[in-house]
Structure 1
Amino acid sequence: MINDIKKDAETRMGKSIDSLKHDLKTIRTGRANPSILENIKVPYYGTDTPLAQVANVTTPDARSLSVKPFDKSMVGPIEKAIMASDLGITPTTMGMDIRLNFPPPTEERRKELAKSVAKEGEQAKIAIRNVRRDAIQHVDKLLKDKTITEDDKKRADDDIQKLTDKFVKEVDDVVKEKEKELMAL
């Protein structure tokens, strides 16, 4: 019973870390990374389709991306979708090749990005603490229903707290790594 609660809490806390890592991938560091374009949707036969499904995205060098549409008619819509995104990048088109050049971010922009990274990290910590709260409430309910003893509850609470501490530390590590990557440019 208690093990199920702990496993569930661990799974949900792990998902918070995965979500944080996914969100941080889309923050532009000045290095070209195809995952920056992950959230861009392009109108394709009446439906918004992820860019990766209508074009091949490659990294020719550290500061640029190359987007090659599978269909020539998609060049215009892809350009529009990139310009409409919040990337702040203007695409350059040469035939079927759409180039995105990423200038190195200014010191001010890097500090701004570091703040948003810290904010994302804080959101992940809040999510982890909410999972801890839910798990402890489940354990409290088991105690109230007299399914477990007071000692079992204390042990479970300690284990849940250790899990929480482990995942909060992992959030801190992920955030530090991303901030280091931002400031290293």
Structure 2
Amino acid sequence: MSGEYDDLKRRMDGAIAAFKHDLASLRTGRASSNLLDAIQVQAYGTTMPINQVANVTVPEPRMISVSIWDKSMVGAVDRAIRESNLGFNPIVDGTNLRIPLPELNEQRRKELVKISHGYAENARVAARHVRRDGMDFLKKAEKDGVISEDDQRKRSDQVQKLTDETISTIDHLLSDKEAEIMQV
């Protein structure tokens, strides 16, 4: 039974990790190499993440630098960044792209907060799905006579507590990200 609890904990932690990854891709006032993680580049007849065709670095707080390994890929990477709906206009400099980050206006900040709320809700739903799976497992175990009703109730409380902790962590991460986005 403890193996099942460990599995639930691992899956809850996975929901938090996925949420953190989603938040990292949201643009705040500062440059981050994670901003370009979601960009896919048409390269060598297939679609690849940008970090598989170039190094992405942050030399300054408001600048992202992309060092492309293959000179023939410069146009494709430039096009992928421009078409990514992130609002970036790269400056081509040989095999390097410099991406200056403009200030976020109030409207864009509010949009980013809404997007972050959507990510948080997805993470909460994932945590609730894990909780449901755990509760179903416990009910089935009780029905099959593997555990007693008291054990089922006690373990259900543990699963609920784990879910509450996970959702609390998600809410805390969300409020931190909101503050970071709204900071001028």
Q: Would you say how many aligned residue pairs link Structure 1 and Structure 2?
A: 184
- State how far apart, in whole Å, the 1-side matches of 2:124 and 2:44 are: 41
- State how far apart, in whole Å, the 1-side matches of 2:154 and 2:166 are: 19
Aligned residue for 1:141? Answer: 140
- State how far apart, in whole Å, the 2-side matches of 1:83 and 1:174 are: 29
What is the percent sequence identity of the aligned residues? 43
3-state SS of paired residue (2:113): helix
Deviation at 1:95, TM superposition (A): 2.1
3-state SS of paired residue (2:86): coil
Aligned residue for 2:14? Answer: 15
Alignment of 1:32-181 (within 5 A): 32-181=31-180
- State how far apart, in whole Å, the 2-side matches of 1:8 and 1:71 are: 43
Deviation at 1:45, TM superposition (A): 1.6
Asked whether the equivalents of residues 33 and 58 of structure 2 are also in contact (C-alpha less than 8 Å), the reply is yes
- State how far apart, in whole Å, the 1-side matches of 2:148 and 2:173 are: 38
Q: Which amino acid aligns with 1:59?
A: V
Q: Deviations over 1:89-108 (max 9, x none)?
A: 11111222211111111111
Which ranges of structure 1 fall in alignment gaps of 5 or more residues? none
- State how far apart, in whole Å, the 1-side matches of 2:112 and 2:44 are: 35
Deviation at 1:123, TM superposition (A): 1.2
- State how far apart, in whole Å, the 2-side matches of 1:133 and 1:89 are: 41
Instruction: Calculate the aligned-residue CA RMSD, in Å.
Output: 1.1
State the TM-score, normalized to the length of structure 2: 0.96
- The alignment status of 1:27 with 2:16, answered yes or no, reads no
Deviation at 1:39, TM superposition (A): 1.5
Q: Which amino acid aligns with 1:71?
A: D
Q: Which amino acid aligns with 1:84?
A: E
Deviation at 1:86, TM superposition (A): 1.7
Moved over 6 A (4+): none
3-state SS of paired residue (1:30): coil
Which ranges of structure 2 fall in alignment gaps of 5 or more residues? none
